[in-house]
Amino acid sequence: MTLGLLLASISISYKVPQILNLYYSGDTSKINPFMALFQCAYSYLYFLYVLNLDNMPLLCLASMSLLQSIVIVTLYEYYSEQIATFINLRRRVHRS
């Protein structure tokens, strides 16, 4: 079981640099929104599947993967909305 937890923690670590980069830079150009949503949906379905298995390492993996996918989609939406608001404000100022 310890080996399973170790492998689960390693397998979910690949999203951490992407989350940190998106959080600190606010640059959403490197994120494909359709892929992020697909990954979030996949993580949710996998989490529901693992709930019935009674396997703690897989449950940890599924829940962390789901949480990371939700964070990526949320940050993408947050920074995309900020960029759209900024562009609209600039357009209003130039029209005046």
Question: Residue 79: what pLDDT?
Answer: 86
Specify the amino acid at residue 64: M
Helix 16-25 vs helix 56-95: crossing angle, to nearest 10: 20
User: Does the reported pTM lie above 0.85?
Assistant: no
What is the mean pLDDT, run by run of 10 residues, along the chain of 96 residues? 70 84 87 87 91 84 91 89 59 58
DSSP 12: T
Q: What range does the domain containing 7 cover?
A: 2-95
**Residue whose structure tokens are 């959403």:** 28
Question: Residue 8: what pLDDT?
Answer: 67
For residue 77, the domain's CATH number is 1.20.1280.290
Specify the amino acid at residue 57: P
Residue 12's nearest CA partner among 53, 73, 62 is: 62
Question: Residue 71: what pLDDT?
Answer: 94
Gap between the Cα atoms of 22 and 11, Å rounded? 20
